[in-house]
């Protein structure tokens, strides 16, 4: 997948390009992340990228022209890159006004061939830039950050995990609880006893079917207890219903 990021702080993207699963996906050529800085597209001596808002009010906005030039250049670069004919990259703006990102949204974005992520700064961008250049607006949560770079990197990380060959254990993304719409089950590793707390016996046994059922039951029970709203959107199999009933009965004793 090819991802362009329009940002005033391209160095921030090293957090995903130089480390971990995302860094490996890039090193192995399964992911490309390129940055374009609106400041490189300014034409004035002071390289101005912000301006005052019409109607007054606190703070500054990002100027349309440098931002638009950076976006257009990123899109052209995606189309010009070697290889088979390509679709026009989807332009995505990160903001609290966007559609709330969840695993279903990540799975949708992971299917795209390319995208340009626009990371704003200051108080945001001119609405006309959004109308002219942005295809989709996404939010990683109902809170305000000082820039769109961290949301952009969160999106890159979440999408990169879904690319074929990224995760060592292929179906670990599939097994990912959120992939199934449930919260994750508890996890344990050595030592077997920590501060008098034992690892559940079933996990030490080696009976993989019992372990699968225990993990599914815990995921269902934790979802029921912590995020019942997630359960509302799920169709439970008869096995899931049985396991959740067991969990609730044990929980209620
Ligand atoms: N919840 C989010 O995904 C989110 C995205 C962006 C953001 N802040 C930027 C700074 C100025 C404007 O571009 C928006 N805050 C929160």
pLDDT digits (tens, 9 = 90+) for 45-65: 999 999 999 999 999 999 999
Residue nearest to atom 4 of ligand 1 (CA): 95
The reply to whether 176 belongs to the active site is yes
- Topology, domain 193-252: 1.10.1270
| pLDDT < 70 stretches in the chain | 168-179
The structure tokens listed for 27 are 């090193």
Q: Is the ipTM of this complex over 0.90?
A: yes
Query: Residue 125, annotated ligand binder?
Result: no
Give the tens place of pLDDT for each residue, 66-95: 999 999 999 999 999 987 778 999 999 999
Candidate from 121, 145, 152, 155 with most ligand 1 atoms within 8 A of CB, to mutate:
145
Q: Is the CB of 95 under 6 A from ligand 1?
A: yes
Distance from residue 73's CA to the centre of ligand 1 (Å): 22
> Is 242 a residue of the active site?
no
For a ligand 1 pocket test, name from 151, 153, 155 the mutation site with the most ligand atoms within 8 angstroms of its C-beta: 151
Domain parsing of the chain, residue ranges = 2-170, 193-252
pLDDT for the residue numbered 166: 83
Among 176, 184, 222, 242, the active-site one is 176
Q: Whose CA is nearest to atom 14 of ligand 1?
A: 95
Tell me, yes or no, if 161 is annotated catalytic.
yes
Q: Do the domains spanning 2-170 and 193-252 agree at the CATH topology level?
A: no
* 111 assigned to active site: no
What is the C-alpha separation between 72 and 107, in angstroms, rounded? 26
Residue 54, ligand 1, Cβ within 6 A: no
Residue whose CA is at the smallest distance from ligand 1 atom 9: 147
Task: Tell me if 137 CB under 6 Å of ligand 1.
Answer: no
Measured in Å, residue 164 CA sits from the centre of ligand 1 at 29
pLDDT at 39: 98
State yes or no: 181 annotated in a binding site. no
Dist. CA 239 → ligand 1 center (Å) = 41
Q: Which CATH architecture has domain 2-170?
A: 3-Layer(aba) Sandwich (3.40)
**pLDDT of the residue at 168:** 62
pLDDT for the residue numbered 253? 81
């Amino acid at each position: 997948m090819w991802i362009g990021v329009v940002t005033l702080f391209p160095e921030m993207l090293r957090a995903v390009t130089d480390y971990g699963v995302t860094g490996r996906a890039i090193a192995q050529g399964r992911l490309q992340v390129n940055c374009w800085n609106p400041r490189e597209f300014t034409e004035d001596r002071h390289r101005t990228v912000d301006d005052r808002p019409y109607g007054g009010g606190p703070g500054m906005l990002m100027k349309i022209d440098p931002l638009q030039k950076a976006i257009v250049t990123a899109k052209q670069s995606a189309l010009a890159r070697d290889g088979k004919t390509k679709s026009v990259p989807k332009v995505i703006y990160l903001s609290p006004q966007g559609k709330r990102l969840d695993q279903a949204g990540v799975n949708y974005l992971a299917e795209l061939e390319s995208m340009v992520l626009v990371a704003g700064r200051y108080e945001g961008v001119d609405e006309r830039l959004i109308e002219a250049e942005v295809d989709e607006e996404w939010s990683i949560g109902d809170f305000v950050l000082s820039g769109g770079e961290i949301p952009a990197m969160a999106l890159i990380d979440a999408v990169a995990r879904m690319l074929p060959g990224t995760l060592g254990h292929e179906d670990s993304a599939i097994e990912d609880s959120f992939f199934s719409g449930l919260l994750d089950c508890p996890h344990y590793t050595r030592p077997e006893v920590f501060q008098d707390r034992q690892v559940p016996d079933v996990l030490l046994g080696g009976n993989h079917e019992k372990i699968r059922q225990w993990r599914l039951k815990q995921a269902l029970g934790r979802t029921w207890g912590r995020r019942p709203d997630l359960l509302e959107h799920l169709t439970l199999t008869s096995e899931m219903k049985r396991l959740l009933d067991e969990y609730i009965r044990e929980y209620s004793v």
